Amino acid sequence: MLYPGVVIAHSEFPEDQWSLLSPEGVFCPGRILSRQEYVALWQNGPNGQIFYEAINQPMENRGSVQYRFLMAAGDDVIDITLTLTNLENQPLKEVMVDLCLMGVRAGHFYDPDYTRTFVITHKGLSPVAEFIASPERPVFRKAGRTSDSMHFFGPPNTFWIITPEELARNIVMTQSVDRKWTVGFGWEDLSMAACNSELAHGCIHADPYLGDINPGQSVTMAGKIYITPQSPEKLLDRFESEMKST
């Protein structure tokens, strides 16, 4: 299976690397529209941007979608833009894109027990360890979203566990071991977030909700990846402020 990913690094942590898998899958109720059925040919764009465009190769019960992903790096944030186009002759409902930020090679941040990985629920900002113990792999649905597009993560699949806790915000964060830095991954709107502590991955997922996409229609979603010397509380405030101005 092909993984159209890109490696992310920060000058403050020259030995650390993150891998962004973009995407691992595209889903709508009852269908897996894409699971890396293409090769991502990354290109250089203006002003230091990188991007790729691809059309997946439809397989049995798979969709026909065009995918465009763009990244523009700043000092402590990467602006990301996702565009998905429906190439079918029927509407796609409640579309969700699964994206994985793998941090197992980022030793200053890798969190084996979820005590430094944070989500925001009705309880506020909380470490994932409050809801589930590692090495289980929790999935958190965004409040107000159905689970219909999350079928890949639910039964009979036992790799992931869909928790009863619902997300109240659109970002998932991991704090550094020394608690001085935070990695954040979020979008304008989420379907779900997830995390996996095992040594082969050490990842967080922030999966944007694109909604219904009519035939020939394109939907664009803005997101951000942060590697910043801020606390999770400060980063949450910053993320929400910056998303409002997107």
The whole-number pLDDT of residue 142 equals 98
Reported pTM: 0.95
The whole-number pLDDT of residue 1 equals 40
Give pLDDT tens digits for 40-66. 778 899 888 999 888 876 666 677 899
163 pLDDT tier (thresholds 50, 70, 90): very high
We report the CATH number of the domain holding residue 137 as: 2.70.98
- The rounded mean pLDDT for the chain is 92
Give pLDDT tens digits for 83-118. 999 999 999 999 999 999 999 899 999 999 999 999
Tell how strand 13-28 and strand 5-10 pair up.
antiparallel
Question: How far is Cα 84 from Cα 65, in angstroms, rounded to an integer?
Answer: 7
The whole-number pLDDT of residue 2 equals 44
**146, pLDDT greater than 80:** yes
- Residue of 201 and 121 predicted with greater confidence: 121
Preceding omega of 135 cis (within 30 degrees of 0):
yes
Question: How far is Cα 93 from Cα 81, in angstroms, rounded to an integer?
Answer: 21
Give pLDDT tens digits for 186-231. 999 999 999 999 988 899 999 999 999 999 999 999 999 999 999 9
Domain that holds residue 87: 5-244
Q: How many domains does the chain have?
A: 1
Q: Mean of the pLDDT values across residues 155-178? A: 96
Distance of alpha carbon 190 from the chain centroid: 9
48 contacts 72 by C-beta, under 8 angstroms: yes
Preceding omega of 127 cis (within 30 degrees of 0):
no
The whole-number pLDDT of residue 64 equals 85
Q: Read out DSSP for 43-80?
A: EE-GGG-EEEEEE----TT---EEEEEEEEE-SSEEEE
Tokens 């990301």 appear where?
80
